Structure formats: structure tokens, C-alpha cells
Structure 1
Amino acid sequence: MSDITLPPRNRYTDLLHRIWTNERVWLFCAGLLAVLFIFNPPQAISSAQFAVQNLLNVGPFLILSIGIAAYAGATGADGLIARAFTGSPAVMIVIAALAGGLSPFCSCGVIPLIAALLAMGVPLSAVMAFWLASPVMDPSMFLLTTGVLGVEFAIAKTLAAVGLGIFGGIVVHAMGKVGGLTDPLREGVGNGGCGASKVRSVQPVVWKFWQDDARVTKFWREAVKTTLFLAKWLTLAFLLESLMLAWVPAELITSVLGGAGFAPIGLATLVGVPAYLNGYAALPLVGGLMGQGMAPGAGLAFLVAGGVTSLPAAIAVWALVKKPVFLLYVGIALVGSLTSGILFQLWVTL
């Protein structure tokens, strides 16, 4: 019998567990593509190209937002940002909702900023207000919506974005007062609730952080960590979205959402969650549906609900926050979208 001592079995088990825990998203993406290559090679190629192209499209927003978050952490400016969100909760919520409606970040690009704000100890109510409003409207989306659906619809969508943010912030603030929604980030994302100390104590800001090796190291560590985190979840999201676009015909969406009245508004709110394409592709679809008789309120509800809970955004949110916060995020989006659709329909019919 050999005298060589074999490594303990649990060492391999622990290794496999760490690989599965840290890389299961990449493993699932690879497995999904492998299955597609076996049974449907053209779709596998199309899905891979779709994912790469969309990652390139959101790349500038991701680089900007990741860079801002990493810079704030390396310089110590994150404490100043966090302190800017202190004060009256009502004022914070309104300002955050307005900032979200005017920000140029897409629903995916805003994720690292949200993680940084939560890690700094910024109240979840203000963060949620910004989070909900940001993906619905931005300056370029306003212009495009005006061109496709008209200025009245663009204004209504802007008001819906800000209103949804304020509504979400108020709901979260009310729940927080009774002791809920503490420490919203998942384990391993950001610094959890420990960042609240940056709000309580003022630390000097080193704007030229590149002169300090430790701060440079921190900058790159946070940037790489956030980039890898987002890359794996967005890759999965875009792969799934490509399959939805390939296997869920646009004609089916048209037939389901067509028609006038208030009933389609509720249906459009629910269908908008899984069927939403992206902010730009959805506009001509809604324009076509409204041309076929769909109620304007249903079109608005579809755009708002889909914008907030689009597949890439929802998966990124799921990876970022704990389940109760995610469910609250989806619930607020649905209720707010339905309400905005009904109010817009009432305004149109007056």
C-alpha cells in the first residue's frame, strides 16, 4: 500500500463548491451555448453575437459608471457623495428621482453606482428613487420618444419616471421606519452596511489618488471586481434575451396587447416585464400597437414596466440585492407602471 497521503476528499469538495459559487453564472452561459450548438447551431451563433454586441453597446455606460464608482472609492469622495444624501428624506427622494429621470445611464450602467451608494450607507429610499426613475427616461430617450410617439407621450413618460421614483422612495422609507429592509446588499457585494461610517465621519479627500499606491490598488481592485461581476450577469441576461427575441414572435405580443380600454393597461404592465426588448427597440413596437388601436395608457404602462424590469436590469438587480429588496423593486415597478398607464389614459380621454 502506498505511503503517499492523498489530499482529503473535502479539499476537492471545497474547491468544487468555490468554483460553483463564484463561477456558476459563467458555467451556465457556457452550458447554454453548448446545448444550442448541439441542437441549433445557427441560434447559438446568433445568441453569442447578440450578447457580444449588446455588451459593446452598453460598454461606454458601464465604463463610465464603474470608473466613477471606483474613483469615488479610491479618492474618498464616496463619503462626500453619501453625505449629500443626508437630510430630509422627502427632499432626498425627490432629488434622487429627478436625477434618475435626467441621468444618461441605462438600467445596466447604473448598477455599479447603486452598489456604491448602498455600500456608502446612503438610505435605500433615495437609492430606490434614483434606481426606479433612471432606466425609464433620459435626455436621448426623451428626444427619441418625441420623434416616434409624440411630445405628449414623451412628457407623460418623463413624469411617469419621476413619479415612479418618488412613489418607490416613499414606500421604501415607510417600510424602513418600521425596521425593514436593513442591509439590502447581498453578501460579497460592496461593503454591505458598513459604509454608513463614511456618512458619520468626514475623511479627507485625495483627488489625485494616483499619487498613492494603496489608492491606485484600491481603484483597480474595485474596478475589476465590479466589471467581472456585471459582465457575467449581463452576458447571461443578453443570452436569455436573444432566445426570447428568437422564440417569442412580435406578432404574439401585438395580438396580446392590442385593443382599447383599461383592461389592456393591466395586461400590458404584466406582459411588459418578460416581453420588453429594450428602450429603443420597444418604441417602434408600441407605436405600431397604438396605430392598431392599443390604448395610449397601455403603451405607457408597457414601456415603464418593461424599462424598469427588463431582463438585463432585473438579473443585475437580483445579483446585487437580497430577495426582499428585489421583490419590492419588482412590485413597486408593476404598481407604479399600472398607475401611470391609467392616469395617462384618463388624461388622454378627457
Structure 2
Amino acid sequence: MMTDTVKTEQSIFRLPKPDRVLLLVLAMFAGLAVYDAAQAGTSLKFVGDAVLGVFPFLMLSVMIAAFAKASSLDRMIAKAFTGHLLIMIPSAAIVGAFSPFCSCGVIPLVAALLAMRVPLSAVMAFWLASPIMDPTMFVMTTGTLGFEFAVYKSVAAVGMGMLGGFSVAGLQRLGAFSDPLRQNVSGGCGSPDVSGTQPIVWAFWQDAGRRTAFRGATLSNAFFLGKWLLFAFTLESLMVAYMPEGLVMSALGGEGAAPIFLATLIGVPAYLNGYAALPLVSGLIGEGMEPAAGMAFLLAGGVTSIPASIAVFALARLPVFLAYLALALAGTLIFSFAFQLVK
């Protein structure tokens, strides 16, 4: 009896295990405060503004995933993603290219789809296309680089999604990517059997158990995404502050094939965000850079930007993450050289 009492008291007063990602973010700011106090304040404001900007999309994604869990809607969603891959993959790419979700805000939905056994090939098509284009980005791209450039970038987004989706489908036939999600990552949904008979309960809030499931899924998803977004935006703020001025400008100038390859490689670490990259690319093209190199920078950077890459790395197992990067770079080269030919 005494032993049981001791165990109970220990469980009550046991401190939660500190999260390593949050500790790393705190350590980064602590080091920055010592090294460059002014930049610490600037980075803090940058991270705050970035989180506020993505917050509506992030919470919408989190709430949708939690609703799917609480209402058993995940079964219907999973069934909607069944069918022939020849239809699923192009559809997923088109939806991804024109959805309003950013590359980070869509992660809970991606996690939920993978946890519901939706084919990775269709999810990859959606995942690759989503960061490249959205309605707001299309308008901004048209205003800075022209309607033709914006239309081709949209086509490239869909094309890269389809390339990734069908490539993954082929690799899966060879036995790859049997378990894409990292351990203990569920995106707020379990792995439902879509053949089950449990009904969908739209008014889930009337059931105490479903309310608990909704609350738990919302909190776990928000914490999971929030900590990785804080880390990603902190790194991004340091890139903005300390990347040598004119580095991208000097590297991407010129014509021919070389700038396209360089833009693809440089776009991975140097891309800050889609809206900041547009005037940069516009200026480079105005100074004589090959437009296809600008396209390469936007395509590669959009998919492999720090927030997008960290979100994918946090969610998917290493082979899936590496495939994501490889397909993004391969698609960038293919569609950038195609753009050079049609210009």
C-alpha cells in the first residue's frame, strides 16, 4: 500500500520531459542575445510576425485534422482518396497548386492523410505542388514578373506534383516507403480501417469522448507544428540578418544553363520566402539574368525552403524526406529548362 502511495505521489510531481526543439530555440535566442543583442530583438519580432502570418492557415489545418478525428470523418476522407492513381495523383497536384495553405500550414492535413493510409504517391503530389503556388502568390507573381511567368509557374507546380506522385508510385511498387510517417506522428488522426462501419458524427461536441478526442488532437497538432515553426522561422531570421548582401545577386547573374543549375542549388539554402523572393528575381531578370534561372530559384526554393523542409523532416521518415528533396530538385531542373525552351 505504501509503495502504491509513493508511486502515486511520484506520478503527480513528475515534471514533464523538456522538449528538445523548444530548448534549442531558447538556446539560439540566448546565444544571440549574448552575441548580438539588437539582432535578438529583431529576430524575435521576425519570428512573431511570421507566426502571426501563418497562424490562420495553421489553425485551420489543425482544426480540420482534429475534426476528422473527433467525428470519424477520417473514414470518409480516406475513401475519397481511394481509386486509380492515374486520377488521384493529378487531382492531388492540382488541388495542392491552388490551395490557400502554405507549406507549413498544410502539414497537419498531410499527416492525417498519411495516417489514414492514403497512398503516399497522391500525398506527395499534393505536398510538392502546395508550396510553389497559391491564389495570393499567383497575383503577386503576375504583378512582379508578369502573367506568362505566373501561369508557367502554376503549370510547373502541377507538373512537379505529378512527377513526384508518379515517381513515388513507381518506387513503392519496388517496395520503398512502406511506412512513411515517423514514430509517434499521427497528425491528429489514427489509422482507420476505411472498411469499418462506424458512422460519421457531425455534431461530435454532443459526445464527451469525441470532445476529448477533438481537444487532444488540436493541442497535440498545434504543439507539434508550433515548435517546428518557431525553429524554422528562427533560422530564417538569422539567414536574413547574416547572409552576405549581394550573394544571391552575384551568383545568379548571367545567361545559359549554368545559372539554372546554380539557381536550383542556391535556392535551397538562400530562399527566404515566396513574397520576398519575387522582387529579388524581378531585379535579377531586369539586369539580364536568364528568366529560366529565376524560375529555377523560385521553384527549388519554394519547395525546399527552411520552414517547408523542417516541417517535412519532422513529419516523415528519412527516406521520404530525401525523396521529397530529390524530386523537388529534379522537377525544378526539368521545368526550368522547359521554360527556357518556350521563352
TM-score of the superposed pair, with normalisation by structure 2: 0.94
1:143 aligns to what SS in structure 2?
helix
1:3 maps to: none
Aligned-partner Cα distance in 2 for 1:98–1:214: 37
1:251 maps to: 246
Q: Which amino acid aligns with 1:335?
A: A
Q: Is the 8 A contact 2:269 2:301 kept in 1?
A: yes
Identity, % of aligned positions: 55
Aligned-partner Cα distance in 1 for 2:193–2:52: 34
Q: Is the 8 A contact 2:188 2:218 kept in 1?
A: no
Q: Please point out which of 212, 222, 239 is paired with 1:227.
A: 222
Aligned-partner Cα distance in 2 for 1:192–1:216: 13
Aligned-partner Cα distance in 1 for 2:342–2:242: 36
Aligned-partner Cα distance in 1 for 2:63–2:284: 39
Q: Please point out which of 18, 21, 26 is paired with 1:25.
A: 21
2:282 maps to: 287
Aligned-partner Cα distance in 1 for 2:286–2:127: 31
Q: Is the 8 A contact 1:55 1:234 kept in 2?
A: yes
Number of equivalent positions: 332
Residue 191 of structure 1 deviates from its aligned partner by 7.3
Please say if 1:74 is aligned against 2:70: yes
Structural RMSD (CA): 1.7
Residue 140 of structure 1 deviates from its aligned partner by 1.3
TM-score of the superposed pair, with normalisation by structure 1: 0.92
Aligned-partner Cα distance in 1 for 2:54–2:78: 26
Distance 1:151 1:202, change over 3 A: farther
Please say if 1:40 is aligned against 2:36: yes
Please say if 1:109 is aligned against 2:116: no
Aligned-partner Cα distance in 2 for 1:191–1:163: 27
Residue 179 of structure 1 deviates from its aligned partner by 1.1
Please say if 1:270 is aligned against 2:265: yes
1:80-229 equivalence runs, <5 A = 80-190=76-186, 195=191, 197-229=192-224
Q: Which runs of 4+ in 1 moved over 4 A?
A: 191-194
Aligned-partner Cα distance in 2 for 1:62–1:250: 32
Please say if 1:346 is aligned against 2:326: no
Aligned-partner Cα distance in 1 for 2:45–2:190: 40
Residue 332 of structure 1 deviates from its aligned partner by 0.3
Q: Which amino acid aligns with 2:43?
A: S
Q: Is the 8 A contact 1:106 1:134 kept in 2?
A: yes
Q: Which amino acid aligns with 1:217?
A: T
Aligned-partner Cα distance in 1 for 2:337–2:182: 35
Q: Is the 8 A contact 2:65 2:187 kept in 1?
A: no
Distance 1:126 1:232, change over 3 A: same
1:198 aligns to what SS in structure 2?
coil
Q: For structure 1, which runs of at least 5 residues remain unmatched after alignment?
A: 1-6
Q: Is the 8 A contact 2:112 2:188 kept in 1?
A: no
Residue 243 of structure 1 deviates from its aligned partner by 0.6
Residue 249 of structure 1 deviates from its aligned partner by 3.1
Q: Please point out which of 234, 239, 264 is paired with 2:234.
A: 239
Aligned-partner Cα distance in 1 for 2:241–2:51: 18
1:307 aligns to what SS in structure 2?
helix
Aligned-partner Cα distance in 2 for 1:121–1:290: 44
Deviations 1:58-112 (A, max 9, x none): 0010011111111111111111111111110111101000110110000111000
Q: Which amino acid aligns with 2:331?
A: G
1:47 aligns to what SS in structure 2?
helix
Aligned-partner Cα distance in 1 for 2:86–2:144: 34
Deviations 1:195-225 (A, max 9, x none): 1x43233431000111011111101100100
Distance 1:157 1:211, change over 3 A: same
1:26 aligns to what SS in structure 2?
helix
Distance 1:194 1:238, change over 3 A: closer
Residue 260 of structure 1 deviates from its aligned partner by 1.0
Please say if 1:326 is aligned against 2:333: no
Q: For structure 2, which runs of at least 5 residues remain unmatched after alignment?
A: 1-5
Deviations 1:224-280 (A, max 9, x none): 001011111110111111111111134111000111111100110010011001111
Q: Is the 8 A contact 1:69 1:113 kept in 2?
A: yes
Aligned-partner Cα distance in 1 for 2:285–2:85: 39
Aligned-partner Cα distance in 1 for 2:225–2:188: 18
